[in-house]
Amino acid sequence: MKTACLLLAEGFEEVEALTPADYLRRADINVTIAGIAGRKVKGAHGIVVETDAGPEALERDYDAIVLPGGMPGARNLAESSTVRNLISRHYAQGKLIAAICAAPAVVLHGACNLLQGKRFTGYPGTEDSVQGAHFVPERVVVDGNIITSRGPGTAGEFAVAIIAALENRQKADEVAQHALLK
């Protein structure tokens, strides 16, 4: 069974976190929702989520790391050396790194410098802070082992792209169809 770790920091965008967690679980991917500072994490819109695990989950290995955006959530992820080390370790191993909204610019580029020469997308305006990468105004962009997406309205498509990368297109299409995304 494939595994994914979805990281939550205070101020995360709720739709961008819970939609991928839900869709990946529908695809029988073992998702660990991990609070980087504790088990209860408050989102950008005041919704408190009790996670599956706390920061200890960041010590393990996964097939994918999933980063929701939101502010100050993305900035809080970027400021964590444990998060940066987890992302860098997994990226170096060729594992999947998926980021949405502000997370591509703030975390993948600003904190981890992983977008150099890559195609990416993100929340409108965040591309202005990314130098040396190629912004593509598409809803989801896949470049190698990095998946990026625009924002809350693209969370379903983002999740389906992660499923396709971890499992296969057929499984991704099944989940999309059952969720009425297609």
Residue 182: pLDDT over 90 = no
* Catalytic choice (101, 106, 130, 142): 101
pLDDT exceeding 70 applies to what percent of the chain? 100
CATH of the domain at 41: 3.40.50.880
Count other Cβ atoms within 10 Å, centred on residue 178: 11
Amino acid occupying residue 53: A
Is residue 101 part of the annotated active site? The answer reads: yes
CB 76 within 8 A of CB 44: no
Number of domains in the chain: 1
pLDDT single digits (tens) 10-64: 999 999 999 999 999 999 999 999 999 999 999 999 999 999 999 999 999 999 9
Q: What value does the mean pLDDT take over residues 152-157?
A: 98
Q: Could you identify the residue written with the tokens 């709720």?
A: 14
Alpha-carbon distances, residue 69 vs 12, 46, 155, 173, 178 (angstroms):
6, 15, 10, 24, 25
- Residue-range definition of the domain harbouring residue 55: 3-178
Alpha-carbon distance 114 to 119, whole Å? 11
